[in-house]
Structure 1
Amino acid sequence: MLLQGKVAIVTGGVTGIGKSIAIGLHEQGAKIAINHLPSQINLFNDIKEIIPDALSVPGDISKPETSQFIVDETIKKFQKIDILVSNAGICEFKDFLETDAQTYQRTVEINLNGSYFITQAVGKQMKEQGHGGSIIAISSISALVGGGKQVHYTPTKAGILSLMQSCACALGPYGIRCNAILPGTIRTQLNDEDMKDDTKRQYMEGRIPLGRLGKTDDLIGPAVFLASDLSEYVNGAQLLVDGGLFVNLQ
């Protein structure tokens, strides 16, 4: 129970990596507030069966007012915030020369702007509380390497990594630690269709030293570590969770 008595916000917390992390933090004793799109209320209700006292905070994370709403609703129910996992994001594979402006702008708005606004809103609350906290942003191995069909996506993940590095400096004096997790190829709803291609999946698996794609549950341990006092002197760090993919690309 490494997080007993802690309160955590997880954005994009009803599917994929966010859902696994929300459940993992709960299993370590944390109270959980989950942000999700209003249309995903049925998915939240499924999580309520696992986390009975979970708080639903619907809203579009790309809008600045959503982040303040998430903070206000969490404080109303749980009285404080100790942990933020900024996870909400989208990834649509597209050819660079065929990517329209709307796709690019929406990806930036959700992935990067959303992470910025929620980090700022939670950072203000944590400073006011006066006892520090842990902010974790889900970046990606794509922050470090290119992708021909991800030109609209990779800059947002690099931006999230940079955001955490800068916020480590800006918020560190208040005892607020800011770190990034960089997943490799994790099988989620975002890439499920892409990974149905056996040839492509086997190619991807062949590049990973551990010989398999990641599971969403592979992110639980790293998130719990960064959220807990086990990492009380870890600030501004990037934690690759990729089965060794990045070093094998050298």
Structure 2
Amino acid sequence: MLLQDKVVLITGGSQGIGAGAALGCAEHGAHVAINYHGNSADAEKVVAEVRKKGRRAIAVKGDVADASTATAFVKAAVQEFGKVDVFVSNAGICPFHSFLDMPQETLERTLKVNLHGAYYMTQAAANQMKDQGHGGSIVAISSISALVGGEYQTHYTPTKAGVHSLMQSCAIALGRYGIRCNSVMPGTIATSINKEDLAQPGKREYMEGRIPLGRLGRPDDVAGCVVFLASDLARYVTGASVLVDGGLFVNLQ
């Protein structure tokens, strides 16, 4: 029980990697607050699954692109649980699109959700941790896309590189308060964000063929790394990034 009685906040926690992280943290003893922007039924399902594990949970709706959502989310969690020990910045979108005709609204929405949202939420969580006075752990879900390009991800890859860089800078800014900041870089994880892309004939087989471990990742694969970085096992780890990609990056190299 690596996170016994810790309070973990996760953005984009109603599905995919966020939901996997919520369940993984609960399995290790954490109480969980998830932020979500879409389907309330999905969010309540995650909350119910966490509670089945004997832990407390709440879901708070809000758009991370709106700075006020960050303070509202942290406030709701503190009202419910009394503190914030771990913050996981996970919310993100990737509407695949070609570069030369990228709509302005698609670019700006991706930047606001993935990068601005991560900034606002990290800032709000860090302020709460600082005021509590007993440190904390911040884990941002970046991506292998922070390190490699993607023809239909020219709007997405810069945001994930930005999230990685944000954690490096925050590690320096927040270390004096005992707050550790690290990023996780998932490879190809089968979630709703790439469901349509992987549905193309032969695409899934092609993607699996590039991965040394021979399969796409699952949300719980990422959750294990999140739990580690959130826990005291990683008490001297900050400013780091961890690839969770089945070996894809080194194979591409």
TM-score, normalising length: structure 2: 0.97
User: How many Å apart are 1:44 and its aligned residue?
Assistant: 1.4
> Corresponding residue for 1:51?
50
Q: Deviations over 1:124-168 (max 9, x none)?
A: 110110100000000000000011100010000000000000000
* Runs (4+) off by over 3 Å: none
Q: What's the CA shift for 1:197? A: 2.1
In structure 2, the residue matched to 1:70 is: 73
Q: Which moved more, 1:153-162 or 1:51-60?
A: 51-60
Q: What CA distance in whole angstroms lies between the structure 2 residues aligned with 1:240 and 1:68?
A: 30
Residue aligning to 2:96: 93
* Aligned Cα root-mean-square deviation (Å): 0.8
Give the Cα–Cα distance (whole angstroms) in 2 for the partners of residues 106 and 172 of structure 1. Answer: 31
- 1:30 matched residue in structure 2: 30
Give the Cα separation in 2 of the matches to 1:44 and 1:145: 32
Question: Which residue does 1:228 correspond to in 2?
Answer: 231
Query: Which residue number in structure 2 is paired with residue 132 of structure 1?
Result: 135
Distance 1:112 1:190 in 2: 17
The AA in structure 1 aligned to 2:143 is S
Structure 1 unaligned segments of length 5 or more: list them.
Answer: none
Structure 2, unaligned runs of 5 or more: none
With the length of structure 1 as denominator, give the TM-score of the two structures.
0.98
How far the C-alpha of 1:198 sits from its partner, in A, is 3.6
Q: CA deviation at 1:48?
A: 2.6
Corresponding pairs, count: 249
Tell me what 2:165 maps to: 162
Same amino acid, percent of matched pairs: 57
Cα distance in 1 between the residues matched to 2:47 and 2:65: 25
Distance of 2:62 and 2:134 partners within structure 1: 28
In structure 1, the residue corresponding to 2:202 is in which secondary structure? helix
| Structure 1 SS opposite 2:140 | strand
Q: Which moves more between the two structures, 191-200 or 76-85?
A: 191-200
Counterparts of 1:79-158 in structure 2, within 5 Å, are: 79-158=82-161
